[in-house]
Structure 1
Amino acid sequence: METIINFVIKEKEWIFSGIGVFVLGLFIYGKTTNLSVKQKQKIRNNSTGIQANGDVNINTNKK
């Protein structure tokens, strides 16, 4: 932790310039958001649930 504090003190001009703020923003955004998609589904009363990470086509057979 001390090395991080020393780095911030030493590089404060770069960190708080436009580029530094952008890079820190990307870093913080990546840490605070879950980049993978998590899906939850509750199915009750003998229902059928379909869960997909995209388009779902049901009964698309043409006669």
Structure 2
Amino acid sequence: MEILEQMVKLFTDNVEWVFSGIGVFVLTLFFIKNGVTKKQRVGDNSNNYMADRDINIGSKDDKK
């Protein structure tokens, strides 16, 4: 518990810094580093598509 108390004290003592531009930048880097990464293997002469949501492949004429 001592480490947790130290972290809370550090945060409360530096609230202005945490929410300043530098603090937001550091927190963003932390969350990006620990976030989900996506990797895709690509084969020779192939079409590969990756999207977070729906993806539509084809021409406009295919839509009804």
TM-score (norm 1): 0.50
TM-score, normalized by length of structure 2?
0.49
Q: Which is helix-richer, 1 or 2?
A: 2
Higher Cα Rg, which structure: 1
